[in-house]
Amino acid sequence: MKKTKIILIICIIITVLLCAVPIPQVLKDGGTRYLCPIVPTYEIYMYNAERSDGQTMKGVAIVLLGIDIYENTYYVSEYRTP
């Protein structure tokens, strides 16, 4: 009985770690960072994407179980006039 409880607790801890601890990745679009655990329960995007027309997309987006929860992205022009 004690052995099965210990094994159950270890399995629960491993499952929580797989669902909660993010793995950082960098996308090849100019510096966008992407955080996602092994089991994709959530995703966090930190945008810093460069476009060919001279604009840069910046901001943050959070996706929880495939549903957009928060998105704050905007475009910044590289050619600003003072």
DSSP readout, the chain? Answer: -HHHHHHHHHHHHHHHHHHHS-EEEE-TTTS-EEEE-SS-SEEEEEEEEE-TTSEEEEEEEEEETTEEEEEEEEEEESS---
The answer, as to whether pTM is greater than 0.85, is no
Is 82 a member of any domain? Answer: no
Number of domains in the chain: 1
pLDDT for residue 79: 59
Is 46 a member of any domain? Answer: yes
What does each of the 82 residues of the chain score in pLDDT, given as a tens digit? Answer: 788 999 999 999 998 888 888 889 888 777 889 999 988 889 999 988 877 777 888 899 999 988 999 999 888 876 555 5
Is 9 a member of any domain? Answer: yes
Structural domain including 8 reads 2-77
Is 60 a member of any domain? Answer: yes
